[in-house]
Amino acid sequence: MGDIVRGLLELQEEEGWLPPEGLEALAARLRVPLHRLESVSTFYPHFLRERPEAAVISVCRDLSCRLAGGSEALSGLRAWARDREGVVVRETSCLGRCDRAPAAAIEDLVVAADDTDEIAACIARPSLEPTTREIRPWPAADPYAAPDLIDDAEQAYRVLRETVAGPTTRPIESLEAAGLRGMGGAGFPTARKWSLVAAEVARPKHVICNADESEPGTFKDRELIHDLPHLVIEGMAIAAYCVGAERGTIFIRHEYEPERRRLEAEIERARSLGALGKNLFGSGFDFDVDIFVSPGGYILGEETALLECMEDRRGEPRNKPPFPGNAGLYGRPTLINNVETLAHAVGIVANGADWWHGLGRDGFSGHKFMAVSGDVVEPGVSLVPVGMTLGELLEAHGGVKGGDAVLAVAPGGASSHFLGPEACDLPIDFDALAAAGTMLGSGAAVYVAEGRDLLDIGLSITRFFRNESCGKCVPCRLGSQKAVELVEKSGGVSEADEALLRELDETMKETSICGLGQVALGPLLSILSRFPDRVRHDERS
């Protein structure tokens, strides 16, 4: 699985790029035609087909970094680099470090884009180790609050140990009673997804953890992987036991190098404790996990594009049905959940549905990891009760920078619709936010302060989706480009422009293969709808 992608990653790690002779040798070793390697390597942005003649500093251009002065940092770095031979500064898509905005990357090292001393040190020492931070003790009930238990052979993977000693249906029943929904954006009922895969008779089955969060504003899964990697692995193993899978894969973006190392270490620890491998805890059940590093691209967060990548093809979404639960990896039943969903599943299986319902506030159920960024004093991730308001979440992160008022909020990352300051009274909940005309999405609240240029913000998001479109379907590829050109050309949005944008949006929603094209214009249009007095509507002659 993934021999071509993994081979290309290894070749680039060794050479610093993909030289023609190296590709030829790899093709011979893998016994595949050279054109297969050409097709794959030219699709993914991480692969370099030309020898880098300089140290490349890639500066994030997207939502959270833009709000944090990314454009100014880019200009400053370009001026700084003019006097330094062999240094090139360029823009790039979201790096998943929205809490360190404005962010930049030098290879897989992510640094502060406005810290030239740190950048100079990384250039001088290209083999510099990624910086790490201390593990946070998350303030919640077991198993979240006690990651240190993984060092105790009797307590480590206790939930999995108890699960494999009982019926495969019991965890699914707990998830059903709790009403857990997928935390990657779609919000699909977790128990239903597990049940669908469990009911499939085809073998072998596979469990995949989607850790490829790449949407601007979204970085909660990164923090979970770093602090609570055992919950990810335990959740995968419990899911595998329920659906009858013997193999699992964690699909993680290449920018998450420190987190990948944390996972690798925890996988080895789990194997040593009997939580992975053959005959888990003497149950007769076999299950093991490996890591697949993404070669880049927001589109790989879409589950079928992810599968295409793992099967050594270009990451272009598949037509559905069939769905991955029926015919996923190599046509076999495949369960795909994101990091947070698996972590919460462990807590529910351990403590029961009543415990989960009791975590919520005012009739809501559960708790939620929320990434917070934008114009806030303290960007970061919080674990909060469902039902907490967006205003309370903002205050927990120090409020708005400079004490300014809130102008707008995108509660579910860059793909969610913007709401006005009244959103601060809304509870953090799937249904409540949907009723307000937006979505909880990936669990990424981006706050925008009074005085910001909302049209610029909306356009930057549309550019992101335009840049990240895989190009497979014409409506998404051309529609997103047309929308960007329309706004850039006029410097504003006239009534005629807005009508055309809404027509494009309807077409893209109805005809795009995957969610990217279906949401690409939504954030911009939400700004036009909710803030008409903030957006210039000059009629073009």
**pLDDT for the residue numbered 127:** 65
Smallest Cα–Cα separation from 61: which of 102, 115, 97?
A: 102
**How many whole angstroms separate alpha carbon 182 and alpha carbon 190?**
6
At the topology level, CATH places domain 147-354 in: Rossmann fold (3.40.50)
pLDDT in tens, 360-397: 999 999 999 999 999 999 999 999 999 999 999 999 99
Mean pLDDT across the stretch 467-483? Answer: 93
**pLDDT for the residue numbered 126:** 64
Band (296; pLDDT cuts 50, 70, 90): very high
Are the beta carbons of 413 and 523 closer than 8 angstroms? Answer: no
Residue range(s) of every CATH 3.40.50.11540 domain in the chain: 147-354
Are the beta carbons of 306 and 318 closer than 8 angstroms? Answer: no
Mean pLDDT across the stretch 15-41? Answer: 96
Band (541; pLDDT cuts 50, 70, 90): very low
Is the pLDDT at 144 greater than 70? The verdict is no
Residue range(s) of every CATH 3.40.30.10 domain in the chain: 55-124
Band (11; pLDDT cuts 50, 70, 90): very high
CB neighbours of 225 closer than 8 A, spacing ≥ 6?
A: 211, 232, 252, 256, 259, 262, 263, 339
Question: Mean of the per-residue pLDDT values for the chain?
Answer: 92
pLDDT in tens, 325-369: 999 999 999 999 999 999 999 999 999 999 999 999 999 999 999
Report residue 387: phi and psi, to 5°: 110, -20
C-beta contacts of 82-87 below 8 A and 24+ residues apart: 86/53, 86/54, 86/55, 87/54, 87/55, 87/57, 87/123
Mean pLDDT across the stretch 304-333? Answer: 96
Residue range(s) of every CATH 3.10.20.600 domain in the chain: 360-449
Distance from CA of residue 302 to its chain's centroid? 10
Share of the chain above pLDDT 70, in %: 95
Is the pLDDT at 539 greater than 60? The verdict is no
**How many whole angstroms separate alpha carbon 352 and alpha carbon 366?**
11
pTM: 0.94
Mean pLDDT across the stretch 223-249? Answer: 95
Residue range(s) of every CATH 1.20.1440.230 domain in the chain: 454-534
Is the pLDDT at 244 greater than 70? The verdict is yes
Smallest Cα–Cα separation from 515: which of 348, 320, 343, 281?
A: 320
Q: Flag the least confident range among 91-105, 111-125, 160-174, 509-523.
A: 111-125
Band (405; pLDDT cuts 50, 70, 90): very high
Report residue 91: phi and psi, to 5°: -90, 155
Is the pLDDT at 264 greater than 80? The verdict is yes
Compute the Cα dihedral for 346, 347, 351, 354 and give only its sign: negative
CATH number of the structural domain 454-534: 1.20.1440.230
CB-neighbour burial class of residue 53 (10 A; exposed 0-12, middle 13-18, buried 19+): exposed
At position 516, the amino acid (one-letter code) is L
**pLDDT for the residue numbered 216:** 95
At the topology level, CATH places domain 55-124 in: Glutaredoxin (3.40.30)
**pLDDT for the residue numbered 321:** 94
- DSSP letter assigned to residue 27: H
**pLDDT for the residue numbered 140:** 56
**pLDDT for the residue numbered 84:** 87
Are the beta carbons of 193 and 207 closer than 8 angstroms? Answer: no
Is the pLDDT at 185 greater than 90? The verdict is no
pLDDT in tens, 104-142: 998 878 889 999 998 998 888 766 666 677 887 776 555
Mean pLDDT across the stretch 404-420? Answer: 96
Architecture of domain 360-449: Roll (3.10)
Is the pLDDT at 252 greater than 70? The verdict is yes
Are the beta carbons of 185 and 323 closer than 8 angstroms? Answer: no
